[in-house]
Amino acid sequence: MSVIAIFAVITGFCLVLIYILIKALQKKCKENEELANENDALYIEVEEQKKNIVQLFHYSEEIAEIEKSQRKTGQQICGAKSNEEVIDIINSVIRNNNNRVRDNG
């Protein structure tokens, strides 16, 4: 075999190898792009979950305040000496609830 033939075979082999490597690289690039898109979607989901957690914490604080207020109201009603006092307590509860709804609405 001549040197040119050997060189042609080596060149052909190198071209095939380069082609295979390019295809493998293209596949990896596509996989990386898909992972980047998935990562972006997960980031958005995590940010939404963070907002939800903050909102849930806020709601739990409000519920704790309402429960505290209910206990206090129950004690006031139990300690009331007349129907007028009970009516005043109930009117106060209604006024407080209306204010809370208006402030949160």
Domain boundaries, the chain: 3-104
Distance (Å, rounded) from C-alpha 72 to C-alpha 66?
10
Residue 2: how many CA atoms within 13 Å on its side-chain side? 3
Check: CB of residue 73 under 8 Å from CB of residue 93. yes
Helix segments in the chain, DSSP class H? 3-79, 83-104
Distance (Å, rounded) from C-alpha 42 to C-alpha 50?
12
pLDDT by residue, tens only, the chain of 105 residues: 688 889 999 999 999 999 999 999 999 999 999 999 999 999 999 999 999 999 999 999 989 988 998 899 889 888 888 888 888 889 988 898 888 788 776
Check: CB of residue 77 under 8 Å from CB of residue 89. yes
The amino acid at residue 102 is R
